[in-house]
Amino acid sequence: MFHTENGVLGFGGAPAPGDEDWDLINAGKTAITLKPGAAFFHHAGSFATVRGGHLDVAILGVYQLAENGDLVNWSTGPGGVPAVGGAMDLVHGAWRS
């Protein structure tokens, strides 16, 4: 069962091109599908799941890791807010990253 940081539990693969529902996205803003029994919840509950150690495996995004495997910190440009997404929470809260 897959969980996404923005509060979807039980999502499936990407929809076919042209079948996207842009109200159904993962934390990377990629369109997703839902599996039977999927659930939606606030991102605070999502991070409580992560921080509480309730994930077996964390899959990090490309902007969360450097070429050498280090966690990264980046900015969206002048005036932007530095961010790593949920990487720090994910690597600490999951059993494996």
Catalytic residue numbers, as ranges: 5
Q: Within its chain, how far is the Cα of 74 from the centroid?
A: 17
Are 61 and 85 in contact by the 8 Å Cβ rule? The answer is yes
* Three-class secondary structure of residue 62 per DSSP: helix
| Spatial CB neighbours of 72, under 8 Å, sequence gap ≥ 6 | 63, 64, 65, 66, 84, 87
